[in-house]
Structure 1
Amino acid sequence: MVAVVAGLVGVWGGACAQTLPTFAQTRAAHPVSDFQLLDRRGEVLQTLRLDPKRRVLAWVPIEHMSPSLLRAMLLSEDQRFYEHSGVDWSAVASSAWANLWNTRTRGASTVTMQLAGLLDEDLARRGGRSFRQKLGQAWVASRLETQWTKAQILEAYLNRVPLRGELVGVSAAAQTLFGKRASGLDMRESAMLAAMLRGPNSPVETISARACGVLRAMRQNCEGLTDEVGAVLRRKALTVADAPQWAPHFARLALQPGGPAAQRSTLDATWQRVAVQSLRRHLAELSGRQVEDGAVLVLDNASGEVRVWVGSSGSQLSESAQVDHVLARRQPGSTLKPFLYELAIERRLITAASLLDDSPAQIATAAGLYLPQNYDKQYRGWISARASLGSSLNIPAVRLSLMLTPEAVFERLNAFGLRLPETGGFYGPSLALGSADVTLLGLTNAYRALANGGKYSDAVLPGGETRGAVGKRVSARQVADPKASFIVGDMLADNNARALTFGLSSALALPFPASVKTGTSKDMRDNWCIGWTSRYTVGVWVGNSSGEAMQQVSGVSGAAPVWREVMLALHAGRMPEAVEAPRGVVAQQTRFDSGQEPPRREWFIAGTEQAVIQSAGTAIALSNPTDGAIYALDPDIPPAAQRLRFAHEGRLERGATARWRLDGRVIGQGPTLDWLPMPGRHELALLDGRGHVLQQVRFEVRGAGLRASTPRRGAPQAGASASSPG
C-alpha cells in the first residue's frame, strides 16, 4: 500500500509544476496583522492593528523559541520529524490507509505536510482535506524537505500555524494567552499550545486531556492542569490597546505597505513618554479653559532626526485624537519674529542694541488701516531690539517688517522651509505677527536652522519623503547669515531681555543656556513655544483642533511649561554646551546715553558695534484721527454735539507741548483738542515744541446741508462718527 501511495505522489508531482517558495521568500512575505514601531534602541513604542480578522505578529526565529515549546510541538504532531523526508511512511504503514486519508483526523500528516497546506491555499483544509489535497500535501512536503532545512520547516510551521480563535503563530498565541514571548514559555504552557493544534477551538476538557498526554510524554505531571487551561481560555485576550501606545501618529507615518512588521525609528522611548505624559498632565491642569489639543516635537540639531513626535493629547482629552497636529497648519503668532530680526541684523538695518519705536502705528493697506497692538495693549516708547524681541512686542516687529518689505520677509521664511502658500503681498505687514499658517514640524525645523547658524536641512523622517528618510543624511544649505543667527539666538536666550513681559522666573528660564520664543495667535486660538539648546530643538503647540479660542491661556502658560519639562528631560545628567560665537561677531560694552536701559555687553556683527547708543527721543504719535479716516455728519444732530477730538500718545521733551496744525494753521496745543468738523478734506499735523512735524494724517468729513450757522473757529467740537476708512 505504501508503494501505491508513493506512486500516486510521484504522478501528482509530474502533473504539478508550481514553483515552491524559498524559505527567505516565505519569511519576507509573512502576513503580520500588527505593525510595531521601535525606538532607536529597539524598545516597542507603538503597535498598530492592520488585520482585524487575524492576529499574526512578527516572525520569530526558531532560536528565539522556548526549547520546551519545540519539544511539545513535535511530541504532539510529528515525533519522527527529524527522521522522515516529508511523509512518514512508517506512520502510514502503521495507521493504515483509512487513518491517513480520514478527513476528521490528522493521522499520519507530518509537520512538513501541514506546512504545505499553510503555504498553498489550494492544499488548505476546507471542511476536511480531500484525497487530492492529501496527495498534493505529500508531494509539496517531499519537495520542501529537499529544498529547506529541518530547522526552516519547523520555524515556518510555528510562525504560520493557526491556533485558538484569531491567533496565528506561536508568537501571537504566547503573547495573547500567556502574556509572554515565545522564548519564555514553560513546559505546561507549551503543552497547552501543542494541544490546541489538533483542535484550536476545542473545549477546556479536550485541550486539557491532550496537553496532559504531551506532559506525560515529557515526564511531567498533570496535576491542576484542567483549572490552568480553563483560566487561560477565560482570560481576556490582549488587544492592541493593551500594547504600548506612545507614538501612534509617527507609527502611521513610518508604516509602509509591504514593509517590515517591526521598524526601528529615531525616536527615544524615554523622552517620548516624558513628552506624552507632560502634555496630558498640563492640559488636564488647564481644564476649564477651553483647551484640549497639543503636540510636541524634538529634533536633533546635528542630524535632523526626530527624537520625540507627539501628534495629539490622546482620546481621553481630545475629540480629534487621530489628527496629527505636528503636521496640521496653524497660525504661529509671535514665533515668526526671530526670522525678521535675523534678516534685519543680517542686512545691517539694526543691531541688537538699536532703539526701535514702540508707539501707536497706523499702517495703510489695501483693505484699510492696519492698527497693530501689543499683547498687553501698552506702549514702551523707544526700546532696544534685544528687549523688543525678548519681550515679544508687536509694533516694533511690524515696523521692522515694513523696513524689510513683506515680500522679503516672505521669501526668507520660505527659505527656512515654512512653505507659505501665498505671497508676501497677500499677507502684508501682519506676516510679522504670524498671520500665515505653518506646521509644528516646519516651524521647529526652521528654528533648528537658526540653532545651526542659519544652515537649513530637512528633518529626517520615515517614508522617503522630501523631508528625508530614516538613516539618510539630507544635504544642508546656508539660508541665513551665521553671525546674525547667533546674535538672534543670544537675544532669545537672554532672560533679562524678556523680563519686561515674562518676568525673571517664567517657565522659559532654564538652568542652562537655551534660546526660546513663545507665540499666541489671534483670538488665542494657538499657543506655541519653540526653542533650542546646542543639542536639541523643541517645539510645542497647544490649542484646539476645531479652532475654538482658549480662555486666558497664553504661550507662556499654555505651551511653555511642557517645553520646559521636555527640555529638562533631554538634558538630565548632561548640561548642553554654550554656543560659540562665529567669526565676524564681536562683543562690545554698550551703554544708552538716556539711561533707557542699563549698560551691558552686547554682540555685534563686526563693523556695526557701538559703545554708546544715542537717544532717539521720546516716542509720540497720533491716536486720533487715523490716516484716511472718513467722518460723516448727521444733519439731525446739532453741530455743537458733533465735535471731533484730536489726540496723541507719548510725551515730548521735558517742558515741551505738542501743537496741532490743521490745513496749514495752528489751532491749538496739548495732548487733546476738540474741533467742530467741517465738510471737506483736511490735513492734520502734530508739531513739537520747535515746530517740527512729528506726524501728519489726512482725513475727510462728509455731510453737506447743516442747518445751523457755521460755528466760530476753535469752538469745542465732538460727536462725529467714524465710518470705515476710505
Structure 2
Amino acid sequence: MKRQAATWVTALVCRLACATAGATVRAPVSASVAALVIGLALGTLPGSAHAAVPRYEQVRTAWLSSDVTILDRHGEPVQRVRRDYAARRGEWVALADVSPALREAIVLSEDKRFYAHSGVDWRGVAAAAWGNLWHTRTRGASTLTMQLAGLLDSDLQAIAGGRSLRQKIGQAIDATALERHWRKDQILEAYLNLVPFRGEMVGISALSHTLFGKYPSGLDAREAAVAAALLRGPNAGAARVAQRACAILKTMQEAQACGGLDGFVQLAFARPASTPALGTQLNLAPHLGRRLAQEAPPLTATVRSTLDARLQRIAQESLARHLQALTKRNVQDGAVVVLDNASGEVLAWVGSSGTLSGAAQVDHALALRQAGSTLKPFLYAQAIEERRLTAASLLDDTPVNLPTGGGLYVPQNYDRRYSGWVSTRTALGSSLNIPAVRTLVMVTPHRFHQRLRQLGLPLPESGDYYGYSLALGSADVPLGALTNAYRALANGGRYGPMHTMASTPGSTSVASPARPAGRTRPASAGAGSVASGNQVLDARAAWIVADILADRHARTRTFGLDSPLTTRFWSAVKTGTSKDMRDNWALGWSQRYTVGVWIGNTSGASMWDVSGIDGAAPIWHEVMSALHAQTPSHAPAMPAGIVRTAIHFGAAAPGAGPLEPARDEVFLAGTEQQAILPGTPAPPTARAAPSILAPADGTIVALDPDIPPRNQRVWLRATAVGGLSAQQGHALRWAIGGKPVGRGAEVGWLPWPGRHEITLSDAQGRVLARRQIEVRGATLRAP
C-alpha cells in the first residue's frame, strides 16, 4: 500500500510540476492540492473500495427506467407507465443516438480536455489551485470521468456544502480506474444517462422528452446548449440558464442561436412536469397499461402484452368518432374490448373515450354497469339445454304480473308493445322482454344466477336477490367479463379466462389487421387453450343460440333487416339497453373474434334517445369489419345431436294466418316438432320438473290481527314447462319446516309467525324446489 501511495505521490508531483512549469510567480500550491498530496502520501485515501469500479456492462444492465414500457404482441410500444416517482428516468440512450450538438456542448462546457486526459485533468487541477491562491474564480477541475465516478458510488456523492476532501480523493482514484477499464465513448454515454439535470429528471432521455418533446438524437445546438447549461445549475432560473447557454453556444461557434433564448428556455420550463417521458404517442393503452405495470415484476423494464397496436388504434378512433357524434344526446363515455376466441388474448382494450370523458382515468371496461338484455342469450341457452324450450317453442308476449318478496314484478317490452305468441327464435332475436321473463320463471333465478357465475360474471348477490328482473339484466357486470362470457358462446360453451400478457416474446399467433391475410394463423391454431376450458354450456345449446343471433330475419321485428348488426360475413350479435337508457351495449362474435362495446356516462346520467342500433352497435360493426377486412368468417359447423326439421306454425285464432312463416328449424335431438300451435305442450323429452312459482324466495308475509285467518292464507303454487298434468299435479307434496301441509299444484296454507322453509317434493319424496319466507305479525284474534 505504501509503495502504491509513493507511486501516486510521485506521479502527482510530476504532473503538478509540469502543469506549473510556465508560472511566473513562485507560490505554494493551494491547500486542497497540498492536502491531496499529503493524503496520498499518508495512505488516508478511501482505500481499495474505490479501486473496484463497476464494468460498463454492469452499469448498463442495472439501469432501470422510471417507467415501464408496454409493448404490443409484435413488439411495438403502446404505453409507458410511471413506476418510480422518486426520479424520472427514460430508457438508456446509446451514444450513437445522442445528437452531435449535444455531445459537443457537454464536452465543451464540462471537460474540454476529455479526450486527452486519463481521468484527472492535471492542468485543470493546477489552474484551479493557482486561481484559489489569487482568489480568482476559475472553472472547477472535476472532469466528466470524475463526475461519473461520483454518480456510480453513493459514498462519493456531494452533500450540503459540497464534497469533502476525502470524497475528492476518491473521485480522482476512481476516475483513473474508470479510464483504464472503460472506453471514452462508454464514459460519456454513461455520464449522459446517469447525470441529474433538473428537478426529477435524470439522464438525457428524460430531459429531452420532457423539456423539448423529442428524442435525444434530434436535439439541435440551442437545445443542446440549454441541456449543458443545466448541469452547472439544475434549478437555476430561466434567465440564468439562458445566459449560460448563450455562452456555450458562442464556444460552439453558434452565437446566432442566442436570439430569443430567454423565451425559449421559459417555454421549455413551462412544459408540465407530468409530460410522459416518451410523449403522447405512447398513450395508446393507458388503462390496461397501468394494470400490466402493476402486475410486472419489480425490475421489469418492458412488458409484452397481447394487444395489437393497430387494432387498438382502430377501436380507440372508432369509439371517439361515434361518441363525438352522440354528444348532443348526452353521451360522454364508452369502452371497447376485443378478444381472440381461441386463446382468450385481449387484442384491444379501450377503457375510456379519452378527452371526451369527464372521468378519463376510469377504466369503463372494468366498471360495473347494468347488463340490460345482454344476458338473454345465456338464459335461452340454459332453457334449451334443460329441454324446457326449443328454438320453435311459442312464448306468450303479453303483460304479466309476477309475485315477488317486495310485491308484484310487472316487466314491459322496450317499445311498450306486445306481439302475442312468438317463437323462441323471434323472442331472442328481437330481444323481447316478456318472453325472457317467462323463460326465467321456468329456469328459476337461482339456477340462472349459478350459470352466470360459472361464466365469470361477478354477481355478488344470490339469484333470488335479483329475482325475475335478472332476465332483463338487472345485475351490474363489467364489459370485460361480459365480453369473455360471450366468447364462451363462440367456443361452443367452453369458458376460459382472458389473457393480457404475452406468454412468449414475439408471439404473433393471432391474426392482426396490420398483417396480410396470408400471414395470419390457421383457424385451428390456438384451439388447445380453449379445449382446456370448462364446458359451462351445452355445445348444442350454444350453437342454437349462435344460429339465432346470426339470423337477421329473427331480429326483423325490432331492428329491421338493414342495421349495424348485419355484417357481410358470418357474425352473431346482441344489443342491450339498461333502465332509463343509462347503459347501451353491443356484444357479438365471429369465427375468430369476440367484440364488446359499452357506451354511457360515468355519472350514471341517462342518455337521450339512444338505442343499441345507433349507440354501441355502429362501433361494434366498425371494429368487427376492420378485423375481417381481409379475413373470412364462416358459420360454425353444426355439432352432433342437432337435427334440422321443416316446421309450420298454427294460427292464434280461427281464420287468422299462421303466427310465423314456415321454415326449417334446428332442435336438440329428441325435441323436434313439425306443427307448432299456441298452447301446445312441449314434447315429453322437453317437459321439465315442476318448480315453485309462488311464493317467491325471501317473501315477507305480514299478518293482520283484524282480518279473519281464512282470508290470510298463503297460496303455494307449482309450475312446469308445458303445464302440469292432473296426475303430475296430484303427485306433488308440500311441506313447511318438514311438516306436510298439502298436495297438488296449488295449496292454501294458514301461516304462523316465524321463518319457514317451503319444500316441494314428488311422490317419491325427492325435493324439487325450496323457498325461504318469513311471516310477521301478532297472534290472530278469534273471529
State TM-score, norm by structure 1.
0.76
Cross-structure match for 1:708: none
Cross-structure match for 2:290: 252
Cross-structure match for 2:191: 157
Paired letter, 1:247:
A
Q: How far off its partner does 1:8 sit?
A: 3.6
Deviation string 1:225-253 (CA, Å, 9 cap, x unpaired) is 21274564243454455623333222221
Cross-structure match for 1:243: 280
Within the candidate set 571, 574, 598, 1:541 is matched to 598
The question of whether the paired residues in 1 share the 8 Å contact of 2:493 and 2:536 is answered with yes
The question of whether the paired residues in 2 share the 8 Å contact of 1:381 and 1:618 is answered with no
Does 1:273 pair with 2:313?
yes
Q: How far off its partner does 1:682 sit?
A: 13
Cross-structure match for 2:677: 615
The question of whether the paired residues in 2 share the 8 Å contact of 1:391 and 1:501 is answered with yes
Bigger shift: residues 88-97 or 431-440: 88-97
Deviation string 1:175-195 (CA, Å, 9 cap, x unpaired) is 344443123345665455445
Q: How far off its partner does 1:593 sit?
A: 4.5
Does 1:14 pair with 2:14?
no
Query: Secondary structure of 2:336's match?
Result: strand
Q: How far off its partner does 1:265 sit?
A: 2.8
Does 1:225 pair with 2:257?
yes
Q: How far off its partner does 1:392 sit?
A: 0.7
- Give 5+ residue unaligned stretches, structure 1: 216-220, 465-469, 620-625, 631-678, 684-691, 700-725
Bigger shift: residues 509-518 or 112-121: 112-121
- 2: CA distance between counterparts of 1:550 and 1:484? 35
- 2: CA distance between counterparts of 1:238 and 1:43? 27
Does 1:396 pair with 2:453?
no
Does 1:603 pair with 2:666?
yes
Q: How far off its partner does 1:514 sit?
A: 1.6
Cross-structure match for 1:483: 540
Within the candidate set 471, 491, 497, 1:458 is matched to 497
Does 1:211 pair with 2:254?
no
Q: How far off its partner does 1:93 sit?
A: 5.5
Q: Measured at CA, do residues 28 and 432 of structure 1 come closer, stay the same or move farther in structure 2, by a change above 3 Å?
A: farther
Deviation string 1:589-629 (CA, Å, 9 cap, x unpaired) is 4433543222333333344444x23212599xxxxxx999x
The question of whether the paired residues in 2 share the 8 Å contact of 1:627 and 1:698 is answered with no
**Which residues in structure 2 correspond to 1:456-535 (within 5 Å)?**
456-462=495-501, 475-535=532-592
- 1: CA distance between counterparts of 2:435 and 2:364? 31
Paired letter, 2:344:
G
How many pairs align? 632
Deviation string 1:470-497 (CA, Å, 9 cap, x unpaired) is 9997952222222221221121111111
Cross-structure match for 2:357: 317
Bigger shift: residues 426-435 or 38-47: 38-47
Cross-structure match for 1:60: 93
- 2: CA distance between counterparts of 1:317 and 1:60? 36
Cross-structure match for 2:773: none
The question of whether the paired residues in 1 share the 8 Å contact of 2:127 and 2:138 is answered with no
Deviation string 1:667-690 (CA, Å, 9 cap, x unpaired) is xxxxxxxxxxxx99999xxxxxxx
Deviation string 1:388-413 (CA, Å, 9 cap, x unpaired) is 10111112212222222222211111
Paired letter, 2:538:
D
- 1: CA distance between counterparts of 2:460 and 2:713? 40
Q: How far off its partner does 1:67 sit?
A: 5.0
The question of whether the paired residues in 1 share the 8 Å contact of 2:565 and 2:617 is answered with yes
Q: How far off its partner does 1:417 sit?
A: 0.8
Q: How far off its partner does 1:538 sit?
A: 1.3
Query: Secondary structure of 1:203's match?
Result: helix
The question of whether the paired residues in 1 share the 8 Å contact of 2:490 and 2:589 is answered with yes
- 2: CA distance between counterparts of 1:106 and 1:249? 49
- 2: CA distance between counterparts of 1:477 and 1:278? 34
The question of whether the paired residues in 2 share the 8 Å contact of 1:104 and 1:128 is answered with no
Deviation string 1:231-285 (CA, Å, 9 cap, x unpaired) is 6424345445562333322222122384545544332333333333333333333
- 2: CA distance between counterparts of 1:96 and 1:553? 80
Cross-structure match for 2:174: 140
Paired letter, 2:675:
I
- 2: CA distance between counterparts of 1:27 and 1:228? 38
Paired letter, 2:289:
A
- 1: CA distance between counterparts of 2:176 and 2:643? 81
- 1: CA distance between counterparts of 2:309 and 2:452? 32
Q: How far off its partner does 1:158 sit?
A: 0.9
Identity of aligned residues (%): 53
The question of whether the paired residues in 2 share the 8 Å contact of 1:342 and 1:485 is answered with yes
Query: Secondary structure of 2:489's match?
Result: helix
Q: How far off its partner does 1:321 sit?
A: 2.6
Paired letter, 1:512:
F
- 1: CA distance between counterparts of 2:560 and 2:96? 61
Query: Secondary structure of 1:531's match?
Result: strand
Q: How far off its partner does 1:168 sit?
A: 2.8
The question of whether the paired residues in 1 share the 8 Å contact of 2:226 and 2:241 is answered with no
- 1: CA distance between counterparts of 2:494 and 2:136? 71
The question of whether the paired residues in 2 share the 8 Å contact of 1:361 and 1:395 is answered with yes
- 2: CA distance between counterparts of 1:154 and 1:546? 53
Cross-structure match for 2:419: 380
Q: Measured at CA, do residues 159 and 596 of structure 1 come closer, stay the same or move farther in structure 2, by a change above 3 Å?
A: same
Paired letter, 1:613:
A
Deviation string 1:432-481 (CA, Å, 9 cap, x unpaired) is 211222111110111111112212111113599xxxxx999795222222
Paired letter, 1:107:
G
- 1: CA distance between counterparts of 2:477 and 2:122? 71
**Which residues in structure 2 correspond to 1:401-480 (within 5 Å)?**
401-462=440-501, 475-480=532-537
Q: Measured at CA, do residues 549 and 500 of structure 1 come closer, stay the same or move farther in structure 2, by a change above 3 Å?
A: same
- 2: CA distance between counterparts of 1:15 and 1:99? 30
Paired letter, 2:380:
Y
The question of whether the paired residues in 2 share the 8 Å contact of 1:254 and 1:463 is answered with no
Within the candidate set 358, 361, 366, 2:397 is matched to 358
The question of whether the paired residues in 2 share the 8 Å contact of 1:296 and 1:539 is answered with yes
Paired letter, 1:131:
L
Deviation string 1:615-659 (CA, Å, 9 cap, x unpaired) is 12599xxxxxx999x9xxxxxxxxxxxxxxxxxxxxxxxxxxxxx
- 1: CA distance between counterparts of 2:564 and 2:217? 47
Paired letter, 2:242:
V
Query: Secondary structure of 1:13's match?
Result: coil
- 2: CA distance between counterparts of 1:440 and 1:536? 15
Q: Measured at CA, do residues 12 and 600 of structure 1 come closer, stay the same or move farther in structure 2, by a change above 3 Å?
A: farther
Cross-structure match for 2:216: 182
Q: Measured at CA, do residues 437 and 11 of structure 1 come closer, stay the same or move farther in structure 2, by a change above 3 Å?
A: same
Q: How far off its partner does 1:515 sit?
A: 1.0
Paired letter, 1:312:
S
- 1: CA distance between counterparts of 2:55 and 2:459? 51
- 1: CA distance between counterparts of 2:132 and 2:388? 95
Q: How far off its partner does 1:418 sit?
A: 0.8
Within the candidate set 16, 39, 45, 2:72 is matched to 39
Paired letter, 1:313:
S
- 1: CA distance between counterparts of 2:154 and 2:381? 65
- Give 5+ residue unaligned stretches, structure 2: 1-8, 14-33, 504-508, 511-525, 652-657, 682-692, 696-700, 702-710, 716-724, 727-744, 749-776, 778-783
Q: How far off its partner does 1:46 sit?
A: 3.7
The question of whether the paired residues in 1 share the 8 Å contact of 2:370 and 2:475 is answered with yes
Cross-structure match for 1:171: 205
Cross-structure match for 2:141: 108
